[in-house]
Amino acid sequence: MVVSIDVKKNWQGKYFVYKKNGKTNTGLDLFNHCENMENLGVGEFFISSITNEGEMNGFDYELIKKVSSKINVPIIANGGAGSLKHFEQAILSGASALAAGSMFVFHGPHRGILINYLNRSDLDNLDFISKNGK
């Protein structure tokens, strides 16, 4: 089972679990919540930094380090990826896997939307599709 947790740090530097698209602080301390979930048998955490999400300035490496040092299951880090260097730093901070969206959708200094898709002739040339007749 994977547990997804939206996280935000308060002005005192404490991390809390949020709900309702990051609008409501649950009052749950992130690290206590993770330990409780791990004790219930969670196999992986998907940790999203609300503050860094969509900013493309890097993951919350402090968050990744703290969570990975307190639990014994893999962490998928989300929120802040803007370059491959950010991926490397997140892995070195303790993430087992990474999630990213904005860096694959937005392009250039004005963050223009870049949408790519295959056309029908490209799909017809893919072996696994043509063998299945789809």
Amino acid, res. 56:
M
Residue 124 contacts by C-beta under 8 Å, 6 or more apart in sequence? 130
Catalytic residue among 6, 60, 122, 127: 6
Tokens of 62: 């402090």
Check if 6 is active-site.
yes
Non-local (6+) Cβ contacts of 10 within 8 A are 16, 25
> What's the CA gap between 9 and 30, in Å, rounded?
10
With residues binned 3-state (H G I as helix, E B as strand, rest as coil), the percentages for the chain, rounded to 5, are 35, 25, 40
Which residues are tagged catalytic? Answer: 6
